[in-house]
Amino acid sequence: MSKAAHDPLVFRLCQILVKLNQGEELDAKSLAEEFNISIRTAQRDLSERFGYLPLEKNGTRYRLDPACLGKIGLKDIERFASLAGVRGLFPSLSNDFLRDIFDNRIQSALLIKGQHYESLEGREELFRRLERAIVKRCCVSFVFCKTESRKKHYQNVEPYKMVNHRGVWYLAARDAGQLKTFGFSHIEQVQVLEQGFDFDPTVEKILIEEDGIWLGKDKVKVMIQVDKEAAIHFKRRKLINNQVIEKELEEGGLIISALIGHTKQVLPIVRYWIPHLRIISPEDIRSELELGLAAYLDK
């Protein structure tokens, strides 16, 4: 440990943060006994000094949000412990300020591709198991339930990331050598296996660079014409996964392209912007859109 970590207060906070990072549930009484401090001091460590952490409280016990487990290394632990130890001397070290720093450090382990989170209520333990398997690089088995009657058992799956895409959680994993995503809300009976797997950095690179969650699929290039009324919105940000502006038209419109693995990546957006968007190619995707609209109008 660094010199700073040998300060008694910082050392204690380091140890507490290590325990939290490993998924332990802590209470003030047990910490007071372990570190020979008062219960009041231990309570202050948890509720004030680490007030910026996403801690979950169950009665008198505290634990780190399952989505953050195992995400910070020793150097970061020492840094956060040091900041927590001196924050009383520096008013600028507010909970919001430290929470921003902490959130930035855990982004490498969770891929967040949206601003809102699917509720994990009632499924925290399943999420926690998958997180532990990812951190420890252990294979998992689970049941994937599309519907009550459509269930599939998966064995020896290699978990890589929990991905939040537009508010919905997915497990990104490799199954029999193929990269796949599984909707977390459909995953049941998760078992962390003793069997480990060799981490492939190219898989992580794909996950980081991929704009959506349709992994391991052949990509199709879709060409779309955008009218001038909607062009500003598509110039301001990517409204379609893997969107590229191919050409700016004289009248103010755009020609854009997108590499997609599934029509669901593009058709909902086109429907939303009708009549200002038109699929140029491929013809089969344009036909799928037109048939869907015709069926809707016939109802």
| pLDDT tens per residue, range 3-28 | 444 457 777 877 888 788 778 889 99
Out of 93-97, 114-118, 163-167, 191-195, least confident range:
93-97
For residue 85, name the pLDDT band (cuts at 50, 70, 90): low
What architecture is the 4-108 domain classified under in CATH? Orthogonal Bundle (1.10)
Numbered ranges of CATH 3.30.70 in the chain: 220-298
Predicted pLDDT of residue 215: 67
pLDDT at 104 over 60: no
Q: Which two tokens stand for residue 17?
A: 């943060």
Region 30-59 average pLDDT: 86
pLDDT at 226 over 70: yes
Residues 6 or more apart whose CB falls under 8 angstroms from that of 52 comprise 84, 94, 95, 96, 97, 98, 99, 102
Q: What is the CA radius of gyration of the chain?
A: 24
Predicted pLDDT of residue 51: 74
pLDDT at 277 over 90: yes
Between 76 and 163, the higher pLDDT residue: 163
C-alpha dihedral, 281 to 284 to 286 to 288, nearest 10°: -160
Distance (Å, whole) CA 241 – CA 234: 11
Name the helix (H) or strand (E) containing 129: helix 124-136
For residue 228, name the pLDDT band (cuts at 50, 70, 90): very high
Distance (Å, whole) CA 243 – CA 237: 9
Numbered ranges of CATH 1.10.10 in the chain: 4-108
Predicted pLDDT of residue 214: 66
Question: Helix crossing, 95-106 with 74-86: angle to 10°?
Answer: 180
pLDDT at 206 over 90: no
Check residue 200 and report its DSSP letter: -
Question: Helix crossing, 8-21 with 28-35: angle to 10°?
Answer: 130
Distance (Å, whole) CA 150 – CA 152: 7
pLDDT at 107 over 70: no
pLDDT at 78 over 70: no
CATH T-level assignment (fold) for domain 124-209: SH3 type barrels. (2.30.30)
Numbered ranges of CATH 2.30.30 in the chain: 124-209
Q: What mean pLDDT value characterizes the chain?
A: 79
CATH of domain 220-298: 3.30.70
For residue 91, name the pLDDT band (cuts at 50, 70, 90): very low
Distance (Å, whole) CA 204 – CA 103: 19
187 pairs with which residues across the strands? 144
Region 64-88 average pLDDT: 60
